[in-house]
Chain A
Amino acid sequence: MWNYSKNLQHKVKIKNKDIRMAKFLVTQYGGPDGELSAAIRYLNQRYTMPTGSTKGLLTDIGTEELAHVEIISAMVYQLTKDATPDELKAAGLGGHYAQHDHALFPTDANGVPWTAAYIGTLGNPVTDLHEDLAAEQKAKATYEHLIDLTDDHDVKDVLKFLWAREVVHYQRFGEALESVYDLNKSKRIF
């Protein structure tokens, strides 16, 4: 069962309204390498992990990714709050306004809606952990691109935090993979 704490994992206090940045940032909400993909991927893979340790890790990282979904959503919310339809149009979010007003909606940076096609769950833990390692690298690269796209310190601060978490998750998945290799070796009967 999920617990919700009524606070963000990292503060989001954006003072300036760079609405165009919201359009780019949303890729880490509903895009292929975003936090929602990560959460759904890990929380689905956890069922067929072979050990308590790997079930625990996939559950815990999946849960942390939900907290990151919330952070990205908070950033988009603050960046577009009080934006007029004209301002949204000028920032390339006219289509979003037409369909959603100021509501949040998970898409990539081009408005393509999130799809479960972004995730893989193959049931083989070696396979699934390889997907997870790749996912963390792709998320890290995407944060690097997003950091390049803004000069706003309030935004960059949060992006650097999320970038650093990807690096740590990659490390943990690597350790989980090693543990699965060891487990498979120990099961071999010659």
Chain B
Amino acid sequence: MAKSLKDLSREELMDNIHQLKFAAVDLNLYLDTHPDCKPALTDYNNITSDLKAVIAMYEKKYGPLTNFGGAESKHPWSWVDEPWPWESGE
């Protein structure tokens, strides 16, 4: 039985984000040269909707992953929280 999003740990949420984002990037490049491919587009849209949900859950619990209006922040401003990606390795 798959765990629901709210029961995933921070690491599991980040793993999901890595996997879904990678799939989205790869499909995006494929669609750039195959714009008429309906199966690829369906996959891309499904992945995009899943990715948005996982990111929303992660950001709600752990703070913004994007700046410049990509996500809201609790007080104090948590975009600047550490660690940064080259430190955490994620």
Q: A4-B66, A7-B14 are in contact. Are A74 and B85 (CB under 8 A)?
A: yes
**CB neighbours of B32 from chain A (8 A):** 53, 56-57, 60, 172
A57's contact among B18, B29, B84, B85, by CB below 8 Å, is which?
Answer: B29
Q: Is the beta-carbon distance between B30 and A60 smaller than 8 angstroms?
A: no
CA gap between A53 and B18 in the complex, in Å: 26
A175 interface contact, C-beta 8 A? yes
B25's contact among A4, A9, A176, by CB below 8 Å, is which?
Answer: A9
Q: Is the beta-carbon distance between B66 and A13 smaller than 8 angstroms?
A: no
Main secondary structure of the interface of A (DSSP, over half): helix
Interface residues on B, range: 20 to 34
CA gap between A7 and B86 in the complex, in Å: 8
A45 interface contact, C-beta 8 A? no
**CB neighbours of A13 from chain B (8 A):** 89
CA gap between A5 and B18 in the complex, in Å: 11
Residue from A5, A6, A60, A172 whose CB has the most chain B CB atoms within 10 Å: A6
CA gap between A14 and B34 in the complex, in Å: 37
CA gap between A175 and B30 in the complex, in Å: 10
Closest Cβ of chain A to B52, distance in Å, is: 13
A3 interface contact, C-beta 8 A? yes
Q: Is the beta-carbon distance between A12 and B29 smaller than 8 angstroms?
A: no
New contact pairs (8) apart from A3-B66, A4-B67, CB-CB < 8 Å? A8-B85, A9-B18, A9-B22, A11-B89, A11-B90, A78-B86, A172-B32, A179-B33
**CB neighbours of A5 from chain B (8 A):** 21, 65-66
Q: Is the beta-carbon distance between B89 and A60 smaller than 8 angstroms?
A: no
A-B contact count (CB 8 A): 73
| 8 A Cβ contacts from A115-145 to B | none
A66 interface contact, C-beta 8 A? no
A64 interface contact, C-beta 8 A? yes
Q: Is the beta-carbon distance between A3 and B70 smaller than 8 angstroms?
A: yes
B48 interface contact, C-beta 8 A? no
CA gap between A110 and B79 in the complex, in Å: 36
Q: Is the beta-carbon distance between A7 and B33 smaller than 8 angstroms?
A: no
Q: Is the beta-carbon distance between B18 and A6 smaller than 8 angstroms?
A: no
Residue from B14, B66, B79 whose CB has the most chain A CB atoms within 10 Å: B66
CA gap between A104 and B81 in the complex, in Å: 21
**CB neighbours of B34 from chain A (8 A):** 175
Closest Cβ of chain A to B43, distance in Å, is: 16
CA gap between A53 and B29 in the complex, in Å: 10
